[in-house]
Amino acid sequence: MKNDAKIADKFKDFKPNLSDRRNIILGMGLRGFEKLFSLKNKSILFLIGIVYLWTFAFYLLLGQDSYPCNTVSEELKTCTHLNFYGDLQYGGTRIFLVLIAAVASSGLIANDLTDKSIHLYLSRPISRIDYLIARIIPIFLLMLTITLIPNLVVFISQFSKSGLDVDFLSSNMWTLSNLILQAIFYSISYSIIGITFSAAINRESLASAGFFGTVYGVSLIVEIFYGLMSEMDIENSEYILLLSIIHFLDIISYKIFNVDYFVTIFGSPEVIEFPLSIIIGLYVLLFSSFILLVNYIISKMEVTK
Amino acid sequence: MIEAKNVIKKYGQVTALDDFTVDIPKGKIGILGPNGAGKSTFVKIALGLIESTSGEITVLGENLDKNSIEIRKKIGYMPEHDCIPNKMTGVEFLIEMGQVSGLDYQTATQRTHEILGHLRMGEEKYRLIEEYSGGMRQKIKLAQGLVHGPELMFLDEPTSGLDPNARQEMLETINGLAEISNTNVLLSTHILQDVETVCDYVIIINNGKLQIKENVKELVKRQTDTIQIRVGENSDEFISILKQNNNKRNIEITDRWIRIPYKNEESFKEIISAAASAKCQLYEMERIAMTMDNIYLEVVN
């Protein structure tokens, strides 16, 4: 009886030390990231496996001296590091990256909206923006594991190929920082796009399809249209590429490495230039609109129950 | 506990709260009102989930506009609608909610099992929520609001959609858990009996306005059983005879009615006899039981 009374008193006098918002958000994000690797998410694990298999294959390809300098014309592809990473990620496995982002991000907000548990999350000591950040963290970390880590693997393999020469590291410090920046850039961009689709289409499967279709499908269509417009010598036809999120992100990615952006149209590569101010302005406008849209959708839901 | 001053909330043309002012004391408080009265809107504003159009609210001594996040650490919320994820077990969900409230994993786990124990949930707590009955889902909804040990718990229609047995069990559970966890309760409902069972204080809202704020015990005292009479001429003499017969007890006289306490069936005979003595014509004589329901309906209508 005494023991029972003690337990009851303990329950009654429960005064926990609650952690602050930052820790709550980080905790939510890390738990979400952990869940993406659960065996329930077989499709995600399968796609991650493919990305890493391609990384391994690319590692083997790098061992051959002919790769990649002889594969395209010298003036466009001058064996910069971007080409290595570009070929690793955004040529060979781009479709898988978009697929992983589409599949993994689709449920993050959609599920909370569908079962309405978002009401419970938002009644906790976090703001709406905190909640969004917590939901972006899992997909951001997942994207980092499939953009940054393979890139680092390639970098390390090149370092290894140089005979572990310290000069290689010092002469490639900017490359290393740029590829980290590039991976963060792609990860955050795809995370925001994913979260937007997840909130806007609050059914997981439809959100995945919407994401993939809009990002990958549109890029194929835009590329074909650009090819046709170029053939017809239509002025400023390159601006149509800005309608494709993949091309748009690639343009910024090339800017990070300070090299000319080129796009391969009907088998032949073409250099395309865009003013930096337009690109940055458009990026800020587009992605802040995504965030505002998600915030609006959630706030609207609160009011209407 | 909660102080609202001139709170207005408009959804487009619709005014959900109309210059709403109230000072809610600590304890177990019921917010009563018909559907669409503004109860849920008030609860959501007090939680900081939605913003009022104008006015000021203080919750647990802190200004809601300035400290809404901090205030939520001290508040638990059980929404009206179904809002728990089906693909998690009861335990997983409560631990997650505990952690989102700021508890560490170990404390959240321990607290989860304690609360589920108090809710008399056995092995079913390890089952997926989608397999739960309506009553069990309500229990989980209640438990998630209590998991971080809040000072104040908002319950929005907690018995909505439950059968009578489950409803009774839910009310007992709320009562029991509020007692043992030392939590203040704000119960929003349109069911009068829920307030009677759980609350010390009642606030009645209608059309976004405060209609009444009273201690439940006082309100219960107002429940009366009377005989309502309408008479013709010579009513003064009739009343004085009645007062003599009733030892001047609680005879209520208005322009239209005379109400005297109902004791038993003999009361009717006494009234007829008094009317005959006073040569006063009886137009109507009816027994009126003034229950909580009547009081509520009178206020709301």
B77–A18: do the CB atoms touch at under 8 Å?
A: no
The average pLDDT across A268-282 equals 86
Quick: pLDDT tens for A15-48.
888 888 999 999 999 999 999 988 888 999 999 9
Nearest to A125 among B44, B73, B83 (CB): B73
B149–A119: do the CB atoms touch at under 8 Å?
A: no
H or E segment to which residue A1 belongs = none
Q: Residue A77: is its pLDDT beyond 50?
A: no
d(CA B131, CA B116): 16
Which residues have CB under 8 Å from A68's CB, separation 6+? A61, A77, A79, A83, A84, A87
Q: Does A298 touch chain B (CB under 8 A)?
A: no
φ/ψ (deg, to 5) at A185? -60, -50
Percent of chain A beyond pLDDT 70?
84
d(CA B76, CA B59): 13
Structural domains of chain B sorted by starting position, each given as residue range(s) with its CATH number in brackets: 2-220 (3.40.50.300), 223-300 (3.30.70.120)
Q: Residue A78: is its pLDDT beyond 60?
A: no
> Contact at 8 Å (CB) between A119 and A111?
no
Interface test with B, best of A30, A41, A115, A123 (most B CBs within 10 A): A123
> A-chain residues within 8 Å CB-CB of B65?
none
> B-chain residues within 8 Å CB-CB of A23?
102
- Cα torsion through B41, B43, B46, B47, rounded to 10: -110
Q: Does A8 touch chain B (CB under 8 A)?
A: yes
> Contact at 8 Å (CB) between B228 and B259?
yes
Going by the DSSP 8-state scheme, the letter that residue B223 receives in this structure is -
Quick: pLDDT tens for B62-107.
888 888 888 889 999 998 888 899 889 999 999 999 999 999 999 9
Q: What is the pLDDT of residue A215?
A: 92
Q: How many beta carbons lie within 10 A of that of residue A190, not counting itself?
A: 26
Q: Does A6 touch chain B (CB under 8 A)?
A: no
Quick: pLDDT tens for B218-262.
777 776 778 888 988 778 888 888 888 766 567 888 878 888 888
Residue with tokens 């920082």: A177
Cβ contacts from A onto B, under 8 A: 97
Which residues have CB under 8 Å from B96's CB, separation 6+? A31, B88
Tell me the β-bridge partners of B63. Answer: B58
Selection from A188, A178, A176 nearest residue A152 by Cα: A176
Structure tokens at A119: 């009401």
Q: What is the pLDDT of residue A95?
A: 82
> Contact at 8 Å (CB) between B262 and B166?
no
Q: Does A23 touch chain B (CB under 8 A)?
A: yes
B69–A115: do the CB atoms touch at under 8 Å?
A: no
Under the banding of pLDDT at 50, 70 and 90, the label for residue A305 is: very low
Q: How many beta carbons lie within 10 A of that of residue B246, not counting itself?
A: 16
Selection from A47, A246, A98, A86 nearest residue A179 by Cα: A86
Q: What is the DSSP string of B88-141?
A: SBHHHHHHHHHHHTT--HHHHHHHHHHHHHHTT--GGGGSBGGG--HHHHHHHH
> Which is more confidently placed, A268 or A146?
A146
Helical ranges in chain A per DSSP H: 2-12, 21-36, 42-62, 81-85, 94-114, 118-122, 128-161, 166-171, 173-200, 204-212, 218-231, 245-256, 276-304
* Residue B78, min C-alpha distance to chain A (Å): 8
* Residue A86, min C-alpha distance to chain B (Å): 39
| Alpha-carbon dihedral sign for residues A163, A166, A170, A171 | negative
Nearest to A12 among B102, B148, B180 (CB): B180
The average pLDDT across A141-159 equals 85
The three-class DSSP label of residue B14 is: strand
The average pLDDT across A194-218 equals 91
Q: How far is CA A56 from CA A61, A99, A157, A175, B246, in A?
A: 9, 20, 11, 21, 101
Quick: pLDDT tens for B142-199.
899 989 989 999 998 888 878 888 888 888 888 887 777 778 899 988 888 888 888 8
Long-range contacts (CB closer than 8 Å, 24 or more residues apart) made by B134-140: B134/B161, B134/B162, B134/B163, B134/B166, B135/B162, B135/B166, B135/B169, B135/B170, B136/B90, B137/B82, B137/B84, B138/B162, B138/B166, B138/B170, B139/B170, B139/B173, B140/B84, B140/B90, B140/B93, B140/B94
Going by the DSSP 8-state scheme, the letter that residue B25 receives in this structure is P
Q: Residue A69: is its pLDDT beyond 70?
A: no
| Nearest C-alpha in A relative to B74 | A125
Q: What is the pLDDT of residue A64?
A: 66
A120–B103: do the CB atoms touch at under 8 Å?
A: no
d(CA A301, CA A166): 56
Tell me the β-bridge partners of B230. Answer: B284
A124–B49: do the CB atoms touch at under 8 Å?
A: no
Q: Does A232 touch chain B (CB under 8 A)?
A: no
Q: What is the pLDDT of residue A63?
A: 66
H or E segment to which residue A213 belongs = none
The three-class DSSP label of residue A255 is: helix
> Contact at 8 Å (CB) between A249 and A282?
no
Selection from A116, A14, A115 nearest residue B147 by Cα: A14
Q: What is the pLDDT of chain A when averaged over all its residues?
A: 82
Q: What is the pLDDT of residue B248?
A: 57
Q: A239-248, A295-304, B5-14, B38-47: lowest mean pLDDT where?
A: A295-304
| Nearest C-alpha in B relative to A31 | B96
